[in-house]
Structure 1
């Protein structure tokens, strides 16, 4: 039996020695590293089963390095072990696929139990052939950001199962494209991919559209007709904008998911359909359940595997590869040479928050492509005027007003100098100052992401988490 190998990445020598001693008693092999660079080097050259990872390291942030660690040749499980528990870090770590998030000092019993469970999970995964990288057909899906790589991991896992998948995300993030990617990588790839636009279903025709009808079932039913559920037999049924499905039909659809059988309108016999279900929505289904607008039991059925597509504004790393991909596609479509990009073009793209996400981004790129005519390089001047105006307005709106800045400065000065003031609760004060810091940071750097990270010392993921927490965007 192979002895598990555990890697401890922590700049605290005493922590490394303590865990190494524990692992020796458990008869596990142990490697230690006091920096990310050392840890990543070990991962590239030696098989590792589990990584104990600190967050604050001399040469970087452990959570930022999660994608690289999990994509190492041995694809190890990761347990965060940090001395500074932070809810934002914990959320990012869990989203990044860590096994657990432990705060030092952690009792030996808890550390041992967590490690044992992670190793058991890993052993079961490897026994089922899940230890290697799954080769995905990602035709048309572009993304190099950590959040998109996490989506690809979920797609790879979902594609190998028959589980129902719920894809959520804002309008324009590419939910149908991701659903088609799951279908294309699944054993059902040669079967049909049938789209049901739930937003277009009318109460009067929804049953006929989904379940089909028999001749004479209603006025105008001149012949038997298969519904979309039957057409998806042997393939994938995709419920687009499932949050728009009328309550009246949700109960009937729940039965179909349980039994995989239905009765056409006007029919007397049950018909079976072997389909795999993928649903998508830009709405908050949990909130709809609370308001009585969506059935809780149906949501449980839909949400076996949940893939949340991140908005484009949170993944600036993907702007350039998306632009290159779409511009090459446009050049092929129009039969012209591929165009290059000036630096200011991408600088302007990064200043906009893209409320319409990738759909809006591609539309703007095509308009720029047309505006540029025969020119071989795209400049910021080639962006549509309405977009340039929005970018300028947003940039100006981000600059804090002088009066607000002075008021905040006075309050902060009063507190630090011991002036008699009415103090808010510490939690409220910290939140106020955190938001003010972010506002000043954005204004001082004119929204330059790299400058903001350099000045603040924050990691990219932590910075975006703080923006989200304070309801702010770049």
Structure 2
């Protein structure tokens, strides 16, 4: 028996689903608001949550994100009275188990619910049975917890995995962790740096060659694909793989067979493929720079690693972990750090991600020398410059705002020029409206005719013939 939570503001819907689920032998609780549903999920141990999209106190799809962040999240089935393809896509991309219209048959709902419960129970058994090996991967934030969940899923399958994320986020560490937690962990983990493959020897490096295959081939060479036999082949920066080689590698993925350069017989390699890239492969496909069929093959499973700026809560733990490693490698006592040192690390945007953080800590340790506590001035110059700019940015913008009216005032014309221009405009309008009748113009303006003539002469205004 499993526990199921129904979150829907319609009491009739709750009662209907409650009756159906109860007949399946499961325990059912209902929540009539999104807030109540999330609180119930936090307090309870539910295998599945049926979640309505349109709730009186919020969007169910936003509630889906909150439910997925729970320590032991339930599988979420979105239920809606208004089917929406875009909403269905958004729900699945955000981790929903299924997306079902309320008008669907009870049989369809029961089938989806049964599968979700079975999946949830199997997942818990695996999580309880095996502790992931995550050497070098540090993080306790919800963003990293999601990455660990995807890592666990990838480790227990033989499916190809594509790891995406910015440079320096730790894509190779995750690739190694997938290997170390898989059934192939005792065999080789072979790295192919696609960005560093020599242009004229790419096929030789990957597939190997036989003696005499080309000038300089003085002996047989085993390619990296064969070296990964029974192990894991990691294609790092796969977006850099040349187009001509993408076609050849697609066939290798489909058959696990390849022909070494100069060879007469195809060889077989039983490898698990993990690939990584910091590029947008979908955009590359649209620009004809990457094969769509190869992308489909690579992305059986997708693991996205967020940039460090998106999970700053992990910076302290990362700092402690890597400081210990750096100090141990340098055979020095482990250093501590001041509050303002950590504050500067937390405020920095880390465009180079974890890799940049490690380099910054190495620099700080070297600069500190025998000092036992790391201080802000031990950090690299670019980080301190960024902190200095940020510290005065607010004051500078305020000063700029205060100076703006002064600049606008200086832009105004001299009062005498302004007055003369206004006077000239007035006289032109006055004469035009009076049809150049001096008596009428003088009476309307309240000035004498002699004064009027004097002003017209001053501004050079005369009737155009």
TM bin, normalised by shorter chain, reads 0.7 to 0.9
Query: Judging changes above 3 Å, is the alpha-carbon distance between structure 1 residues 391 and 161 closer, same or farther for their aligned structure 2 residues?
Result: same
**Retained in 1: the 8 A contact 2:41–2:67?**
no
- 1:138 corresponds in structure 2 to 134
**Retained in 1: the 8 A contact 2:68–2:74?**
no
- 1:436 corresponds in structure 2 to none
Query: Judging changes above 3 Å, is the alpha-carbon distance between structure 1 residues 271 and 355 closer, same or farther for their aligned structure 2 residues?
Result: same
Cα offset for 1:88?
A: 12
SS at match of 1:143: coil
Of 265, 269, 277, 1:269 maps to 265
Of 28, 33, 38, 1:30 maps to 28
- 2:67 corresponds in structure 1 to 66
Cα offset for 1:378?
A: 2.4
- 1:122 corresponds in structure 2 to 116
SS at match of 2:263: coil
- 2:173 corresponds in structure 1 to 177
**Retained in 1: the 8 A contact 2:207–2:261?**
yes
**Retained in 2: the 8 A contact 1:77–1:118?**
no
Deviations 1:148-195 (A, max 9, x none): 111111111111111001111111111111100000000000111111
SS at match of 2:103: helix
Deviations 1:411-462 (A, max 9, x none): xxxxxxxxxxxxxxxxxxxxxxxxxxxxxxxxxxxxxxxxxxxxxxxxxxxx
Cα offset for 1:395?
A: 5.7
Of 244, 248, 253, 1:248 maps to 244
> Tell me, which stretches of 5 or more residues in structure 1 are unaligned?
407-474
**Retained in 1: the 8 A contact 2:69–2:142?**
no
SS at match of 1:109: coil
Of 290, 296, 308, 2:286 maps to 290
> Tell me, which stretches of 5 or more residues in structure 2 are unaligned?
403-465
- 2:42 corresponds in structure 1 to 40
Query: Judging changes above 3 Å, is the alpha-carbon distance between structure 1 residues 128 and 39 closer, same or farther for their aligned structure 2 residues?
Result: closer
Query: Judging changes above 3 Å, is the alpha-carbon distance between structure 1 residues 7 and 242 closer, same or farther for their aligned structure 2 residues?
Result: same
- Which structure's relative contact order is higher, taking Cα pairs within 8 Å and 6+ residues apart? 1
What is the CA–CA distance in structure 2 between the aligned matches of 1:113 and 1:404, rounded to whole Å? 66
Larger gyration radius, structure 1 or structure 2:
2
What is the CA–CA distance in structure 2 between the aligned matches of 1:25 and 1:200, rounded to whole Å? 59
- 2:5 corresponds in structure 1 to 7
What is the CA–CA distance in structure 1 between the aligned matches of 2:90 and 2:391, rounded to whole Å? 28
SS at match of 2:41: helix
Cα offset for 1:8?
A: 3.7
Cα offset for 1:371?
A: 1.9
**Retained in 2: the 8 A contact 1:67–1:149?**
no
What is the CA–CA distance in structure 1 between the aligned matches of 2:200 and 2:272, rounded to whole Å? 26
What is the CA–CA distance in structure 1 between the aligned matches of 2:11 and 2:358, rounded to whole Å? 49
Cα offset for 1:121?
A: 2.7
- 1:465 corresponds in structure 2 to none
Of 335, 339, 342, 1:346 maps to 342
- 1:229 corresponds in structure 2 to 225
Aligned residue pair count: 387
Of 351, 358, 364, 1:362 maps to 358
Instruction: Report the TM-score, using the length of structure 2 for normalisation.
Output: 0.74
Q: Which moved more, 1:276-285 or 1:325-334?
A: 325-334
- 2:406 corresponds in structure 1 to none
RMSD between superposed Cα atoms in Å: 3.5
**Retained in 2: the 8 A contact 1:63–1:89?**
no
Of 48, 51, 61, 1:50 maps to 48
- 2:312 corresponds in structure 1 to 316
